[in-house]
Structure 1
Amino acid sequence: MVDGSRTTHDLAEEILELMPSLGRLLALCILEAGEEETTVMQVSVLLHILKHPITTSELAKKRRVSLQAASVFVRGLVERGWVVRSPDPNDRRQFLLQITPEGLERAQMAQRQMTDCLAQSLHDLTPEEIAATAIFLGGLRRVVQAQMTLETDEEPYST
């Protein structure tokens, strides 16, 4: 049933209420696959680096964390052999983060596991709910990416 009295504020509250549970579900999906060393955040960053090699400071800006926090996070990826630092051809003082074959394999495996697990959870939706969700997600992606582009003047951070 569609409730015409719902406002965008109501939807925002429901989305925010659902996000922690969705994050925990995805983390459990990774753990069930025996990927206890891999986190949802690591998968997200690895897949982003695959598409767009970036510096640690760019990662800090995109994640809205301190440079120190981003550096610690990156150091963990490097120590696991999932990322390497390569000299930036445009600025010799900087290093670009690039995913290694092992990092790519780990990220793709975890992403497949999360996708399969989430798809299984969505299995009980009706065809109408699936269609409505697809429309909603398309619109949500559009407005979020537009807002992120306006706020940061750069490509939105996504996987």
Structure 2
Amino acid sequence: MIKGEPPRLDFGGGLVIPMNASIFRTLWEGEDRWVTYGRAVSRLEVKAMQQAEIAATGTMKLMLLTQAFAPERLVRFESCGWRNRTNDAKDLVLGEVALPGKPVMPTTDRITGSVTDGDTGGGGEDGWHAVTGYMVMKKDVTLAEVRARAQLLKS
């Protein structure tokens, strides 16, 4: 951990990730790995954890598919991150690709009065906030392999 504002996590190999909200919606790339993060809020801890894992996995797939098939749609962010150039999700390459690994065990925090009722928009209930990361080592899958394995739904 590198102290500062925001603090940064140094994975080595040029991968230094700021520990703030910018970690989400970003594909982080180092010399030997890619990393994405996901987060979720739910009334149930286990559901928040599952949704965070889905978010991290989905971000990894969307971003690697876009990096493999349409890299011009991404723009560098924070020196080692990649983000959607337009911030419009429909500009990302949509498809399915088998990737190695899985998200790490999510961390959770209890939140008070922050989970809103979607029907009424009224005051919130207590709930859980979950965050997780997903790491794919480049030795385990290359962008060429992503292109070969992918089943595209929308390019």
Superposition TM-score tier, normalisation by shorter sequence: under 0.3
Bigger share in strand: 2
Bigger share in helix: 1
TM-score (norm. length: structure 1): 0.25
Larger-gyration structure (1/2): 1
